[in-house]
Structure 1
Amino acid sequence: WQFPQGGIQFGETPEQALFRELREEVGLLPEHVQIIAQTDDWLHYRLPLRYIRSDSDPICIGQKQKWFLLKLTASTKHIQLNLSDPPEFDQWQWVSYWYPLGQVVNFKRDVYRKAMMELCMRMPQYTAEISSKYE
């Protein structure tokens, strides 16, 4: 279980990489989503030794990630999981905001928690709820 993700190619901005990966992995175009927020800083995780492929070039020991909070502005009929060969995902579903923390592989859990904690503070309904409690 994981969110769509991917690397940034030479010359791409994080936003350009976001839209490219979103298209490749789930079929969505920039006009199908709205960027609500992104993490202020890059977040990191290290791979456990058993997942490091020493025969790859370069050797990947972890990832540095920029996270984005998106709002789907189009119909879910635009979601297509079969655009890459092989497909990177075999299913998708709507879930509650914190559900991914219980599903993601353990070594990614901390980076998911950090990103989700930061991004939840920028969700319009969350900030409206918090501000109304203190007015």
Structure 2
Amino acid sequence: MVDKDGFRSNVAIVISDGRGKVFLAKRLGQQSWQFPQGGVDKGESADQALFRELYEEVGLESSDVEIIQRSKKWLRYHIPPSMQRKNSKPLCIGQKQKWYFLQLTGDTSKVCFDTSGSPEFDDWQWVNYWYPINSVISFKQNVYRNAL
């Protein structure tokens, strides 16, 4: 859902291994890495979107994680004009995100990128907690810094 200001509602998912490492996923066919994230559908709560996206993007279910914390407010980032879909209505100029910090309680063998038939990622790794800030695409760095 895109709000009146042009920001799409979204959830961002940080999964911890409990030893100071976080789950970072590689975009399909690209060399860019990010936390899993996805849109909040109409009529869906952010918590519902979290668990839907967690399963669709990485194959994990609510029983595989524990919510440690969630952001109290929406954090925003702008999409550069050159990357905006100019023909979409309404125009989306960025994302507003609820950030979820999860502890993995299940097994990493359950990680699967093709549960929805259209995978967004093709690899993943455990990285140090602060590593994603400087490795994510530049226009997302501030929102990562503010969230972490």
TM-score (norm 1): 0.83
93, 102, 118: which one aligns with 2:134: 102
Cα distance in structure 1, aligned partners of 2:147 and 2:128: 15
Pick the structure with more strand per residue: 2
Match of 2:53 among 17, 21, 24: 21
Separation of aligned partners in 1, 2:98 and 2:105 = 22
- 73, 98, 106: which is aligned to 1:41? 73
Distance of 1:20 and 1:4 partners within structure 2:
12
Q: CA deviation at 1:34?
A: 0.2
Q: Distance in 1 between matches of 2:83 and 2:52?
A: 26
The secondary structure found in structure 1 opposite 2:123 is coil
- Of 49, 59, 77 in structure 1, the residue corresponding to residue 91 of structure 2 is 59
Which residue is equivalent to 2:7? none
CA RMSD of aligned residues (A): 0.9
Q: What is the number of residues matched between the two proteins?
A: 116
User: Structure 1: which 4+ aligned runs deviate by more than 2 Å?
Assistant: none
Q: Which has the larger radius of gyration?
A: 1
Distance 2:105 2:92 in 1: 35
- Identical positions, percent: 54
Which residue matches 1:8? 40
Offset, 1:28: 0.4
The residue correspondences of 1:115-134 to structure 2 (distance < 5 A) are 115-116=147-148
Q: CA deviation at 1:57?
A: 2.6
Unaligned runs of 5+ in 2: 1-32
Query: AA paired with 2:95?
Result: Q
Q: Which whole-Å deviations, capped at 9, do the CAs of 1:71-117 have from their partners, x for residues lacking one?
A: 0000101111121332110101111101101110000000000000x
Output the TM-score relative to the length of structure 2.
Answer: 0.76
- Larger helix proportion of the pair: 1
